Structure 1
Amino acid sequence: MSDKSPTETAPAAEKQSELPPEGSTQAWLCVLGAFLSIFCTFGFLNAIGVFQVTYQATTLSEYTPSDISWIFAVQLALMWAPGPIFGRIVDTYGPAPVLYPCSLLCVFSLCMTSLADKYYQIFLAQGLGFGIGAGGIFTTSMVCVGQWHVRRRSLATGIATTGSSLGGVIFPIFFPRVMDQVGFYGAIRYTALMIGILLLASCFLITSRLPRKKWDWGLQWFDLTLLKEKQFALFTIGAFLGMWIVFAPLDYLPSMAQEHGFSSTLALYLISIVNASSIFGRTIPPYLADYIGSFNIVTWSSGLSGICMLALWLPFNYHSSHAGIIAFALTYGFTSGAFVSLLMPCIAKSGDIQTLGRRFGTFQVIMSIANLTGLPIMGAILDRQGDAEFSGLILFGGVGSIAGAAFLGVATYFLGKKLGTWKV
């Protein structure tokens, strides 16, 4: 028998009944809007290899690969770092105060990139400006999808994040073709136009399920003491190692392919191949995760990604093979796609609901550090090996991913032991 009186439970029940139903048309329209917004942000960032190759050959040819990769590392870091602040704004006031200005900032930043011809200008426009805007859009999309979908959150999140994979397929094909006709800067302007139209549509589709609430100045969103919890600490370390290297093929695989005799067009298409395969990695494993556990899937995903690097990428550094490199792109895209799409659902399961906001905030800041440092470190390794020898970079990535899987596996074990089930 409940200890609460009817007068105490009635307001809560009434408030719950006023919420739009999970799985409704509005809920799936929100997923569609999130798909479009992530296509324009994370999907565009998944095409970083196009800009790495182009900048190395033209505008920034006097800079090292590590120097150039800082532009993209900052973009990736800003997808995560401001997330706690953006998330609190969305929770309190709804998506509009974040989604609308950040959409404008993304388009404006690309327009400024089309006028930039110096390193600091490109860094400010494409790195900082687009990174901040994309981070706000990505966080808004994930928060709103999470509000609408609880029972099938892994699947809904996986579908939304396939936008990044589709963007990673289309932009590496779209951009070089347009660039051949109107030049590099003209291609950026056409890209800004396409992104602007799609983001406008997403602004109408993404909605909040929960009612507005007052801003809580006392709410803590970053708390390193949470790392005292074994499963959260181990999972965060494993995710850090995996996130450290997950974007390496997207950035450096085209350069390696060109060094091994690929045409420039086919080398850039490798990015599309990786991302096309990751569409399946972001949908099939998340669907299975709702039945056998997100932790189990993300652990296997990290381990298999590392094995792919060592077994399928490393050999072709010494013995070039078009078919072999394409096979690696297909395999790695599938395994890494599952890893990226299931991190946040895992964090939601890694502790008590009372600390959910702080765990999300702490995790996102730590992931931003991984994104900020990973590509420049691998670029420095490549630079030390003469910009033509990729073995050090690949070994760093493969070993890091497998080590990350080991930490994730231990975290899965402890959480399963705590919950009394292997389906975690």
Structure 2
Amino acid sequence: MDQEARSSHETAEKAREPGSAEWVPTVAAADLRAEQATDRPRDGPYAWTVIAACFISLMLSIGINDAYGVYQQHYQLVEFPEATATIISWVGTVQFLVMCVGGVFSGFLCEHFDTRLLNAAGALVMGAALIGGSYCRTIEGLMVTQGLLYGVGASFPFIAGTSIPTQWFTRRRGLATGIALSGSGVGGMWMTSATTAMIGALGRPWAMRVTGLVAMLAVLAVSPWMRVWMVPSRSESVIDWSMVRNPRFLVLLSALVFGIAAYFGPFFQMPSYSVVVLHKSASWGSNMDTLMNGLSVVGRLSIGLLSDVVGPLNLMIANTALAAVSLLALWVAFDTVGTAIAVALLFGFAIGGIVTVIPVVAAQVFGLARIPSIIGLLFIGYFAGGLLGVPPMSALLDNVGHRTDYTAAVWYMAMLPVCSLLFLLALRLMLTRRIRIKI
């Protein structure tokens, strides 16, 4: 055992002593089953270069997904006016759901192959999907290219960009992860405007070709820096069944399902709520989404920084509570412009912080040895949350509120972060009953 391994072993043993001041309930021994993949030091300048590469990969892969609403509007009003909005929305839905399900397999592949090559392969598939979609003239063709194929390609930079930052930092892990994951929020903001401008100036086919080419070249360019710090322990099974049977993992996954379900509701419903209930313009309503996206970036960065001081799970609990309060105390109780803006500010900040600390919490509780695979499994929660969130909300709005009364839909949205909060509190109790501890 070399000097670094002995030091890690001694630290792990000390950390497992409940009476120790440094004790945290982390499966630290899992790190000892991984081999160091590079001589580059953690927390150094090269590590920040890796973070920049993750930022760009997530900015384009998730940013393009977040901009699908622009295509939805174009398809519905211009290209396929005879098709229902529900059918058209499945192009973007397939894109996101395949990205999440593909995360399970891409996490497994990241344990067996070089993440730099996988990220590059994902860039090629993403670009090919959008360029191929530019030649499609049917919804079915777009569902295969822009939806299915793009989701498969984006799952690689999605998993790599989310799991790699936790390996490269020890002292500022939360801040580094927050910066990397803020790329998705930044991408969602500027890609929406860029896509709108390109469709207006060049038309939808050329907008997709330009977007595909830019995404492919940019993600390819940063792929050489999308490398792991350690080679994780390998498994011959795509799904780590020991993890699936782990009570801690199941509780965290349940919290994630309800948290992600809560994430989508306000972003989908606030624009129409602003028009129908607050009698504002459609552009004012879309600006509310931009406001929430902007605050989510602030939340990702600030919560990432604070998690290094307070503890990622503690902050995830606090942010989930803030999300619940913003919906229960403000949106449920009041139908005013001021409270709607307050909801956008508080909820956007809170939900951005929640997304940031998910991989940091996973590393804290389960160790780094199989973090790509664990993150991939957790993305099942994104899949389930996507199904649990918007469809039931829309059904309540249609069938109970008759498309004008948002009360039932808002109550449903508000209870989702409450359920997530209960699971997070249960996880903390499973780890420790001490209140004043960094975890």
TM bucket (normalised to shorter chain) is: 0.7 to 0.9
Q: Return the offset for 1:48.
A: 4.2
Aligned equivalent of 2:327, options 298, 309, 317: 309
1:255 aligned partner: 272
2:26 aligned partner: none
2:18 aligned partner: none
When the two structures are aligned, how many residues end up with a matched partner? 410
Over 3 Å counting, the alpha-carbon distance change for 1:357 and 1:44 in structure 2 is closer
2:151 aligned partner: 131
Aligned equivalent of 1:400, options 416, 419, 435: 416
2:28 aligned partner: none
1:343-354 equivalent positions in 2, closer than 5 A: 343-351=358-366
2:187 aligned partner: 167
Aligned equivalent of 2:315, options 281, 297, 306: 297
How many angstroms apart in 2 are the aligned matches of 1:224 and 1:49?
39
Aligned equivalent of 2:286, options 268, 271, 274: 268
Contact 1:155 1:283 in 2 (8 A): yes
2:249 aligned partner: 232
Q: Return the offset for 1:315.
A: 5.4
Gaps of 5+ in 2: 8-31
Contact 1:114 1:189 in 2 (8 A): yes
2:429 aligned partner: 413
Contact 1:23 1:149 in 2 (8 A): yes
Q: Return the offset for 1:22.
A: 0.6
Aligned equivalent of 2:214, options 194, 199, 204: 194
How many angstroms apart in 2 are the aligned matches of 1:210 and 1:199?
22
How many angstroms apart in 2 are the aligned matches of 1:184 and 1:191?
10
Paired residue secondary structure (1:160): helix
How many angstroms apart in 2 are the aligned matches of 1:261 and 1:114?
37
How many angstroms apart in 2 are the aligned matches of 1:155 and 1:387?
42
How many angstroms apart in 2 are the aligned matches of 1:93 and 1:135?
15
Contact 1:224 1:362 in 2 (8 A): no
Aligned equivalent of 1:278, options 293, 296, 299: 296
1:364 aligns with 2:379: yes
1:32 aligned partner: 52
- Matched to 1:329, the amino acid is A
Over 3 Å counting, the alpha-carbon distance change for 1:403 and 1:9 in structure 2 is closer
Contact 1:76 1:131 in 2 (8 A): yes
Over 3 Å counting, the alpha-carbon distance change for 1:190 and 1:264 in structure 2 is farther
How many angstroms apart in 1 are the aligned matches of 2:97 and 2:78?
25
Over 3 Å counting, the alpha-carbon distance change for 1:238 and 1:66 in structure 2 is farther
Contact 2:260 2:385 in 1 (8 A): yes
1:341 aligned partner: 356
How many angstroms apart in 2 are the aligned matches of 1:338 and 1:168?
16
How many angstroms apart in 1 are the aligned matches of 2:328 and 2:78?
31
Contact 1:39 1:163 in 2 (8 A): yes
Q: Return the offset for 1:63.
A: 5.2
Q: Return the offset for 1:294.
A: 0.9
1:53-109: per-residue Cα shift (whole Å, max 9, x none)? 444444455555554444333333333322233223333321233111211221222
Aligned equivalent of 2:263, options 239, 246, 250: 246
How many angstroms apart in 2 are the aligned matches of 1:420 and 1:268?
41
1:145 aligned partner: 165
Over 3 Å counting, the alpha-carbon distance change for 1:68 and 1:306 in structure 2 is farther
Q: Return the offset for 1:324.
A: 4.2
Give RMSD over aligned pairs. 3.3
Paired residue secondary structure (2:414): helix
1:346-375: per-residue Cα shift (whole Å, max 9, x none)? 122234667767644443334322234433
TM-score (norm 2): 0.81
Over 3 Å counting, the alpha-carbon distance change for 1:166 and 1:391 in structure 2 is same
Q: Return the offset for 1:40.
A: 0.5
Over 3 Å counting, the alpha-carbon distance change for 1:122 and 1:393 in structure 2 is farther
1:3-28: per-residue Cα shift (whole Å, max 9, x none)? x799x979x9xx86962101222211
How many angstroms apart in 2 are the aligned matches of 1:205 and 1:192?
21
1:218-229 equivalent positions in 2, closer than 5 A: 218-219=236-237, 221-223=239-241, 226-229=244-247
- Matched to 1:285, the amino acid is I
Contact 2:50 2:165 in 1 (8 A): yes
Q: Return the offset for 1:326.
A: 3.4
- Matched to 1:340, the amino acid is V
Q: Return the offset for 1:401.
A: 1.2
Q: Return the offset for 1:306.
A: 2.5
Gaps of 5+ in 1: none
Q: Return the offset for 1:35.
A: 0.3
2:131 aligned partner: 111
Percent identical residues: 24
Contact 1:298 1:338 in 2 (8 A): yes
How many angstroms apart in 1 are the aligned matches of 2:295 and 2:415?
22
1:332 aligned partner: 347
Q: Return the offset for 1:396.
A: 1.5
